[in-house]
Amino acid sequence: MSLRVTDSYLSSILIGDLNRSLGRMLDQQQMMGSMRRVNSYADDPRAVGTIQRYNALIANNDEYLSNVTRSRIMVDGTDVALQSVSDVLADIRVISLRESSAIATPQSQDTSVIEVDNLMNRLLDVLNTSIEGNFLFSGQQVKTPPFIRSGSTVLYQGDSGDIISRTGPNSTMKLNIPGDIFLGSQSSTLAGQIDMGPRVDLTTNLSDLNLGNGWSPGTISISDGTGATYQVDLSGAVTVNDVITLVNTATSGAVTLGINSSGSGLEMTGTGPLVVGEINGGTTAATLGLNATSQGGTLSGRDIRATADLSTNLADIETLAGSLPLGVMDVQWQGSTYSIDLSAAATIGDLHTLFNGSVPGMEMQLQNNTLNLIGGSPEAFEVSNADSTNTASALGLNGSGTPVRLFGMLEDLKTALQNGDKEGIRDTLTELNSIEDTIYQLLMKNGGRQKDLDWSESILRQRDERLQSNLSLEYDADVAQVAADLSHAETSYQASLLVTSKLYSANLMQYLR
């Protein structure tokens, strides 16, 4: 049985093969031109959903990176502003120390009033810093200047709100520092008035002297009223006993060195006047508190005590002599009265443990050789003696704890300067210490945020790299494979054209045959 294949059927088969070959070649050419494996939904329906999901994740990650960049601008700006506030406070400290000293005059105090007023204006400028039109210290009221002057009072116009930035899929970060913290709305503070520095003794390490600043090893000169001069090399000394031994040996007892009765420093005796100086421009005598000239046969050195720490024994603190053992003191705080029994305390660390465990929401801290009480809210509190031991007074804590006031402290300083009140000027130093501590804490907190932003950026960039890599596996074409497939498609298409041309090569002469 014979079958007849019509020209029409043969033609449809050839044209279909030709179109399919052309389609495959065009697909490969499109992939080669776009370098994408998927150029339409029809290319790979299964992969389209995965590609869309990766694109969404990458877009979210880009937004997190953008948030980190904007957050860094705010956090870095806050760091610069806090550093400027710290610089202003350092200038204020210089003024307070200068104008409360013996060299202060009414004229210098009048001039200092102008200096303080200028520094207040500088503080206002710093705390009203804005970045991209947003004020740094206004809380969430970023379009409102945080601080304005109303007469002699500085008012805060912002709020206590936190500005939160999303820095990752599951992470957020606080960026701002509300300005009300500078007006004392965060905590109340009572700064102690008693120096808790331990006595100098023979075993005191020289590196611990001068509140932990140490000393300068070297050679000193000693002259007495007989005309004798001694040079004593102290560079090998390690303890106070070493210094005393070296001096007394070098002078053969003509000049003797020891510790003064209060334990605050060294004392030299001999035939006066006694003169202690430096050799070759050194500072050894100065750091030992001895660079001076006595009027008689006794040269009393200045205070060179070491700084106190939690391990300091209360019995080694001169200011507590006659007050040990301690007793009970009362703290009135948040509507309650707490009686704290400190009779079992032997060290400053014991004081911390007993107090911090007795008064909720309040903490005892050792700062600059004094004890401070820090409340966890701006509510004022009272500390008083509770028995005959007068413990609160002995520790320098008998009084009221109030919020730390930056601008209020400056107004008090101006008033004290205007009145020539040196005691009032000195009183501002206590509050200034608390304010400086607050600024240091804010700088550390802000520095931590800067590190967190660095870490977040690193994590986000690693995540972006992984997402881009996974997307590429689904989306991008394999160049080598596409090149091979394109070459194969072109060959196939050319073969189809050749076959078609051969089959349709009939002419009139062939037809007549």
For the record, the structure tokens of 240 come out as 């106070």
Query: Chain centroid to CA 147: how far?
Result: 23
SS3 300: strand
Least confident stretch, 207-211, 419-423, 498-502: 498-502
Query: Which residue is listed with tokens 């029994």?
Result: 341
Q: Could you tell me which residue, 368 or 108, shows the higher pLDDT?
A: 108
Predicted local distance difference test score (pLDDT) of residue 11: 64
**pLDDT value at 42 more than 70:** no
Say yes or no to pLDDT of 372 above 60.
yes
For position 56, what pLDDT does the model report?
87
Cis peptide before 45 (omega within 30 of 0): no
| pLDDT at site 486 | 63
Contact 396, 194 (CB under 8 A): yes
Apex 186 CA angle, 162 and 127, nearest 5: 65
Distance CA 291, CA 221 (A): 9
Query: Minimum mean pLDDT among 5-19, 270-284, 328-342: which range?
Result: 5-19
Distance of alpha carbon 266 from alpha carbon 253, whole angstroms: 16
Averaged pLDDT, 466-491: 70
Q: Tell me the range of 15-24, 375-384, 471-480 where mean pLDDT is highest.
A: 375-384
- Specify the higher pLDDT residue, 160 or 99: 99
What pLDDT does 23 receive?
64
- How far apart CA 84 and CA 137 sit, in angstroms, is 14
Q: What was the pLDDT predicted at 136?
A: 92
Percent of the chain topping pLDDT 70: 82
Query: Residue 501 burial (CB < 10 Å; 0-12/13-18/19+)?
Result: exposed
Q: What is the domain partition of the chain in residue ranges?
A: 59-184+408-461, 206-300, 314-403
Identify the pLDDT of residue 509.
53
pLDDT at position 283, please?
A: 87
> pLDDT-derived band of residue 476, with 50, 70 and 90 as boundaries?
low
| Better pLDDT: 158 or 28 | 158
Whether the pLDDT of residue 506 is over 60: the answer is: no
Hey, which residues does 232 pair with through a beta bridge? 220
Q: How far apart are CA 432 and CA 132, in angstroms?
A: 32
- Residue range 105-158, pLDDT digits in tens: 889 999 999 999 999 999 999 999 998 889 999 989 999 899 888 777 788 888
The reported pLDDT for the residue numbered 182 is 81
Note whether 266 and 200 are within 8 A (CB). Answer: yes
**What is the structure's pLDDT at 478?**
59
β-bridge pairing 219-223 and 229-233: antiparallel
Query: Which tokens is 136 given?
Result: 């740094």
The more confidently predicted of residues 30 and 379 is 379
Measured CA distances, 224 to 11, 159, 233, 384, 395 (Å) = 130, 67, 18, 50, 41
Asked if the model's pLDDT at residue 46 lies above 90, the reply is no
Top-confidence residue, 91 or 13: 91
Encoding tokens for residue 40? Answer: 């339409």
d(CA 21, CA 27): 10
Q: Which helix (H) or strand (E) holds 371?
A: strand 370-375
Out of 187-191, 354-358, 367-371, least confident range:
187-191
Provide the pLDDT confidence category of residue 87 given band limits of 50, 70 and 90. very high
Q: Find out whether 215 and 209 touch, Cβ atoms under 8 Å.
A: yes
pLDDT of res. 370: 84
Looking at the predicted structure, is the pLDDT value of residue 176 above 70? yes
Q: DSSP assignment of 263-302, as one string?
A: SSSEEEESSSSPEEEESTT--HHHHTT--SB-SSSEEE--
Which of helix, strand or coil describes residue 120?
helix
pLDDT one-digit tens code per residue, 290-316: 988 998 899 999 889 988 999 999 999
> Letter for the amino acid at 192?
G
* pLDDT value of position 213: 81
Q: Which is higher by pLDDT, 15 or 115? A: 115
Mean pLDDT of 171-175: 85
Q: What tokens appear for 64 in the block?
A: 């997190």
Whether the pLDDT of residue 81 is over 90: the answer is yes
Which comes out higher in pLDDT, residue 128 or 367?
Answer: 128
Indicate whether 484 pLDDT > 80: no
Taking the C-alpha atoms of residue 294 and residue 121, their distance in angstroms, rounded to an integer, is 46
Q: What is the mean pLDDT of residues 252-270?
A: 93
Inter-residue contact 309 to 205 (CB < 8 Å)? no
Residues facing 373 on adjacent strands: 190, 364
- pLDDT per residue over 396-450, tens digit each? 999 888 776 788 888 889 999 999 888 888 878 877 887 888 888 889 889 888 9
Integer Rg of the chain from CA: 41
CATH, domain range 59-184+408-461: 1.20.1330.10
On the question of pLDDT at 245 being above 90, the answer is: yes
